[in-house]
Amino acid sequence: MRLRLLLLALGAFAVGTDTMVMAGLLGDIAADLDISVPAAGQLVTVFALGYAVLAPPLAALTARWPRRRLLLTALTVFTLGNALSALAPTYPLLLATRVLAAAGAALYTPAASAAAASIAPPERRGRALATVMGGMTVATALGVPLGTYIGDADWRLTMWLVVVLGAVALAGLAVLLRGIPAPAAAPGLRERLVPLRDRRVLSGIGTTFLFFLAVQSVYIFLATAVRPATGGDASRLTLVMFVAGLASVAGSWLGGRAVDRLGVRTVMVTGAAMTTAGFLALPWLSLTLAGALVYVLVVQLFAWAVAVSLSHRMASLAPADAPLLLSLNSSALYLGMAAGGGAGSVAVGLLGPRWFPLASAVIALLALASAVVTTRRRATAAVATAVPEGASDGASALRPRTEPQHQSPARL
């Protein structure tokens, strides 16, 4: 079982590297294809938007596929998309290949989590899921810096690195991943969108979208933002990306424990406030390497702690519908990433490479305000209503309401 989980995690590592590594390659891609850096940033936008838009319909279309067939198909599409990216001679063709890679990633990530849960005994499912999803977070600490360093010689080599990772995971799973239970009946696309009728769900995914719009508007163009500190040196930029990745992993790990101890609202509000402060300080911190390292350490740490709190908040709205709610939250995150590419390029054009993070500070303030207002409403409702013992805020909470319903107290 352990080897199969590691192969699933390797696939997730490849997806995570592919998702985030473009931030360190934009200058090289722009120079090679004779386009501007903001135009190169749209490669991140296209990938993230493709992931967010394609994930729900692809999940519905393949819901009854055997999991092994689904995983192998997803990795084949993902690996092929990256191979074509490495070979793409023009910018339009490169954009098209990013959509293909995104389709494979959108299929693979949820399927890998489902496979991990199915092959592990009940008492080890949490650790199995953590192993697979750990591939995504470790990618920010290892895959992205490594891809950035390799890409300094030729950005296409980084694409080939992702191809190799995907191909190894594909070959290993083709041989070893057998005997996975058939998936149970899964909801169709219409059922997956039913939770959007609930205002609490809309406010939750709205906060997620705004927050990651702010974060990704800077992260996608991080090489541009910290260029005064790095001087265009690949080793310095790799160090910045490495520290950013380590901070992301630490933020995810510490964020989960902070939510359990301090509550969702405290982590969400504190983290959003610290992230906003980081954006405001970046124009000055970016002047030195030490300042740039402080920025990525603080912002990535708190941003990924907020990401955990946002997911926890969505799942707690209706535990019985947690998979659907988390998939919607994931789509909102990727939509924020997609919009971040466009918003960041506009901000760079209007405010310049030093001051553009101030636009993200404004967006982050909006996300902070949304978090404060919507979580306060929920806390007030929980205190104001008494819930009979054994009452549940499960799947019925997301159905159209014909009479007032109580909300179960949630730790905020």
pTM over 0.85: no
CATH of domain 194-382: 1.20.1250.20
Count Cβ atoms within 10 A of the Cβ of residue 96 and give its class: 0-12 exposed, 13-18 middle, 19 or more buried. Answer: middle
Say which CATH class 1-179 falls into.
mainly alpha
More confident residue, 285 or 135: 285
Query: CA–CA separation, 166 vs 393, rounded Å?
Result: 40
**pLDDT tens digits, 357-406:** 999 999 999 999 999 988 775 544 443 333 333 333 333 445 433 333 33
Domain map of the chain by residue range?
Answer: 1-179, 194-382
Check residues 228 and 258 and name the one with the higher pLDDT: 228
Cα angle 148, 109, 19 (rounded to 5 degrees) comes to: 20
| 3-state SS assignment for residue 249 | helix
Q: Torsion over CA of 239, 240, 242 and 247, rounded to 10 degrees?
A: 140
Measured CA to CA, the distance from residue 17 to residue 29 in angstroms comes to 17
Helix H or strand E segment including 21: none
**pLDDT tens, position by position, 183-205:** 555 566 566 666 667 788 888 88
Dihedral sign from CA coordinates of 68, 331, 324, 371: positive
- Residue 199, class by beta-carbon neighbours within 10 Å (0-12 exposed, 13-18 middle, 19+ buried)? exposed
Q: Please enumerate in sequence order all residues whose Cβ is within 8 A of that of 403, keeping only pairs 6 or more positions apart, or say none.
A: none
142-182 confidence digits (pLDDT tens) = 888 888 888 888 999 999 999 999 999 899 888 877 666 55
**Which carries the bigger pLDDT value, residue 143 or residue 411?**
143
Average pLDDT over residues 292-308: 92
**Cβ 116 vs Cβ 1: under 8 Å:** no
**Count of C-beta atoms within a 10 Å radius of residue 261:** 10
- The Cβ of residue 346 has, within 10 Å, a number of other Cβ atoms equal to 14
